[in-house]
Amino acid sequence: MRRILLIAIALLLFHEGAIAQTRTVTGTVAALSTATGNCAATDAGCLTLPKGTNDPLVSVSIAWSPETPFIGTLQFEGASDGAANPNNWQPLNTQAMANGATTTTTTPGTWIFPAADLTGVRVRATAYTSGSANVTLQIRAVNVLAPASSSACTGTVYDSGSLQVPTGYPSALQASSVCVTSITFNNSTLSPITVTVRDGSGNGNNYVSLVYPFTPVTVPFNNILFSGGIQWTASSSGLNGQVKGYQ
């Protein structure tokens, strides 16, 4: 009976992790919205992503074409204890984990917000003049801070293979320069693990990820140059990582 219970718990955690990686809502914001509760289906100025309180992170990506650039203000908002309650929608004024801390934007970009305990996240036009914004809201299990530099690298293929990420002070994975294309993390434990990956040169390339149980994920790094080599560490044991790139 105890073994069956443990298997059931493991399957539940795996299911929640899988959901956290795949839920996405996309839409176009092209009007002023005065919504107080959930965005209505006819509200062209508002886009909502309902979510579970166990979903850890939400990314907000905004883009528009040069032909019809959005001119106005978009506000990031979150709700708890029932997204339909208008009193529960508040600006996402916590520290954004990528692209800086913010509650609004007038320009394209991508932001990642801690979203645990929220039942919904939305983007709403609080001011509007013209144009349209393409908005993508996505539940994420892993966060990577915005890179400080990048390089279109070519050369010898680098593949660390799957290695256990050490704990404690950041340890050197690779001493020489590497252009990282991706890192795959696999958490085999029952608890979330925080991993830090940094440039050995100390030039500012520093990445922090939260990897949830039974959640193998591949994080694209898009040829970010680690000029002083790669150092990494995990908050606890049980996390494997595989780094791929070029030298």
| CATH T-level fold of 15-140 | Jelly Rolls (2.60.120)
Q: What is the model's pLDDT at position 227?
A: 84
On the question of pLDDT at 2 being above 50, the answer is no
State both tokens at 64. Answer: 């528009």
**Domain 157-246 in this protein, CATH class:** mainly beta
Mean pLDDT of 232-236: 91
Residue 84: is its pLDDT beyond 70? no
Nearest CA-CA partner of 214 in 242, 236, 193, 245: 193
Query: Percent helix, strand and coil across the chain, each rounded to 5?
Result: 10, 45, 45
Average pLDDT over all residues of the chain: 77
The C-alpha atoms of residue 63 and residue 174 are separated, in whole angstroms, by: 36
More confident residue, 191 or 165: 165
- Is the pLDDT assigned to residue 149 strictly greater than 60? no
pLDDT 10s digits, 174-215: 898 888 888 888 888 888 788 888 888 876 567 777 677 776
Residue 4 dihedral angles phi and psi, to the nearest 5°: -65, -40
What are the beta bridge partners of residue 231?
172, 198
The answer to whether the predicted template modeling score (pTM) of the entire model surpasses 0.85 is: no
Q: What values do phi and psi take at 236, rounded to 5?
A: -155, 165
Give mean pLDDT, residues 80-84: 59
15-140 and 157-246: identical CATH topology: yes
Domain residue extents for the chain: 15-140, 157-246
* Count of Cβ atoms closer than 10 Å to residue 25 Cβ: 17
pLDDT bin (cut points 50, 70, 90) of residue 75 is very high
Provide the pLDDT for residue 141: 64
55-67 confidence digits (pLDDT tens): 777 888 888 888 8
